[in-house]
A and B are shown apart, each in its own frame.
Chain A
Amino acid sequence: MTSATFVRQQLIAPSNPPASSVGTPAWLRQKLFGSALNAAATVISALILAALIWPTVRFMFIDAVWDGSSRVDCLEETVKRPVGACWPFIAAKFAQFMYGFYPADQVWRVNLTYVVGLVLLVPLLIPRAPWKTLNAVLFFGVFPVAAFYLLVGGRFGLPHVETRQWGGLLVTLVITFAGIIGSVPLGILLALGRRSSLPLLRWFCVVFIEFWRGVPLITVLFFATYMLPFFLPESWKLDPLARVLIGVILFAGAYMSEVIRGGLQAIPRGQFEAARALGLGYWKMMAFVVLPQALKIVIPGMVNSFIALFKDTTLVLIVAIFDLLGQLRAAFADPNWATPVTVLTGFAFAGVIYFIISFVISRYALYVERRLSTGVAH
């Protein structure tokens, strides 16, 4: 083909790529050992992973003690080898970690709450499941009320269980759930208020948001628990857990509102104008046109806040409410289980629980995000 002109005589049929460029060996070569630097990065990463994973596996499984009834079974002197996790400790304290000091014969109420919650939540999360509106009303509207009566009792023939008896994962989940359910509507209202054209409303929202964002959660919890009663009339005797819940909701709501405001700002002006031109009033415009788009944009930020909230709940420990981590620390003090590995075992257990829940939330959010962005690509 040295001449300046060219006419193809025969079309080239497609053929397979060379064997050296496909399959696992090629992938390994290209992705992991493509260059000297890549190879070094691969080897170093592998070493770090191995250095982390191997001791973990040893601690959690290989060296772990699986059977026993007291601290003696988890001591090196008894086992005659290095000791990893002391799982009998978790088994012995499991009920406490899950329910705190909820009366053992009433624990079914907590479990029933979990089951009902899951039964309502799971179809809500599956896009193809039918009756979404009814489902949402049941989960966000009816379930919290039902859960309240079920857990607190005192009605419908259920014995009253004081919230000070609650603890462990139950408290963690109650605070997280109430925080999420409460903070999203509050956040939406605050975000809308902050963008309102009414100056007074706007200023109020700005001050409110900045106040709660400027104060650490610990302070909020302290204030809600120990100071608030002085400001409220004597007859207003709020339950300690309820006080904490209100504090958490206001705190999380302020953060949520800033996340949501980001989404509102991303909606083009034309969307507002089109909605108004069609005659939609403010609330209908927000509900049907603006918020569905704005909330979709901020799903990652909201999930981030949810996970942060889930983990922050552990701060309630300082106002003597025992969440999962609180129960854990209380259990460390039990002389029956005082061994060198008790603390590590407990934290490993809590870590696994926190990780599983956070990971599930974040993976689901990722799935939702992908699904929404394929359905309605801009």
Chain B
Amino acid sequence: MDNDAPKADPTAAAPARDIRTTRNPIAVDMTGVNKWFGPFHVLRDINLQVKRGERIVICGPSGGGKSTLLRCVNRIEDWQQGRVVVDGVELTEDLKSIDEVRREVGMVFQQFNLFPHLSVLDNCTLAPMWVRGMPRKDAETIAHHYLERVRIPEQAKKYPAQLSGGQQQRVAIARALCMQPKIMLFDEPTSALDPEMVKEVLDTMVALAIDGMTMMVVTHEMGFARQVATRMVLMAEGQIIEVNEPVPFFTNPRHERTKAFLSQILH
């Protein structure tokens, strides 16, 4: 059914074939990206390659440009200098390239951003039906499948406002998955949640990681990072300070900023 799933994907351990990945060995390639908000230099010479199946966790002090970087990957934000290539498609001014990338890249927001006027099911079927042109029946089948996957199939008829924060965020994940994206972006997905709901969302994300999804995650959840990250990225003042695998990143940070940041969030 899914031609894009490569035959020998080293990271796709689970048998579940409902997660697609990129055909390209490099999922996201950012080179020399610079961005200014007015005079403010938010992204400074960003160079980052995300390989197929990788889970990149981006952390760092607030205002460091983490979210902005993430939002450049599907061009919710644009930039003034540099190149971003997603799954082999270079993002340019051309709306066609942007639409092409957005179809294949799912995004989960800090504030969930569910559509409050649509039921959970309609939230999930909207994009498959109107972007992919899928018949309603097929879209609903897919929606039920992914709602099952985030373990809230029974809420399909409810409206977002009737759900708890954790449930809403899981619906948001399901909504993104319904487009069967090859890459998922998470922008502080647990920061707006009550403490007792963080775990259910993280568990959902861990399950995705196990199934081989290529993920870029901005988060302060260091437990999660240790568990799933293939590489850690520390950002501050609009630049990438340090990139390393989780174990050395946490046990042996090399840059002063990394040490300072880790000492503040790990007690």
Q: Find chain B residues with CB under 8 A from A275 CB.
A: 115
Residue A271 at the B interface, CB < 8 A?
yes
Q: Find chain B residues with CB under 8 A from A273 CB.
A: 76, 109, 113
Q: Which of A128-167 contact B (CB under 8 A)?
A: none
Q: Are B113 and A288 in contact (CB under 8 A)?
A: no
**A278 interface neighbour in B95, B102, B116, B117, Cβ under 8 Å:** B102
Q: Are A271 and B115 in contact (CB under 8 A)?
A: yes
Residue A58 at the B interface, CB < 8 A?
no
Q: Are A279 and B161 in contact (CB under 8 A)?
A: no
Smallest CB separation, A281 vs chain B (Å)? 7
- CB nearest neighbor in B for A269: B113
Residue A376 at the B interface, CB < 8 A?
yes
Residue B176 at the A interface, CB < 8 A?
yes
Given contacts A270-B111, A273-B109, A378-B161, contact A280 B117 (CB under 8 A): no
Q: A53 CA to B113 CA in the complex, in Å?
A: 53
Best-buried of A293, A296, A375, A376 by chain B (most CB within 10 Å): A376
Q: Are A375 and B159 in contact (CB under 8 A)?
A: yes
- CB nearest neighbor in A for B77: A273
Smallest CB separation, A282 vs chain B (Å)? 9
Q: Are B116 and A378 in contact (CB under 8 A)?
A: yes
Of the four ranges (under 10, 10 to 19, 20 to 34, 35 or more), the interface on chain B belongs to 20 to 34
Given contacts A278-B175, A279-B131, A279-B179, contact A292 B161 (CB under 8 A): no
Q: Is the interface of A mostly helix, strand, loop or mixed?
A: helix
Residue B103 at the A interface, CB < 8 A?
yes
Q: Are B103 and A271 in contact (CB under 8 A)?
A: no
**B117 interface neighbour in A277, A281, A296, Cβ under 8 Å:** A296
Q: Are B113 and A271 in contact (CB under 8 A)?
A: yes
With A278-B102, A293-B115, A376-B117 already in contact, 13 other A-B pairs whose C-beta atoms are closer than 8 Å: A270-B111, A271-B113, A271-B115, A277-B76, A277-B105, A277-B106, A279-B99, A279-B127, A280-B130, A293-B116, A296-B117, A376-B161, A377-B161
The 7 closest A-B pairs by CB, nearest first: A274-B113, A278-B127, A270-B113, A277-B107, A279-B102, A279-B131, A279-B103
Residues on B facing A (Cβ under 8 Å): 74, 76, 95, 99, 102-103, 105-107, 109, 111, 113-117, 126-127, 130-131, 159, 161, 175-176, 179
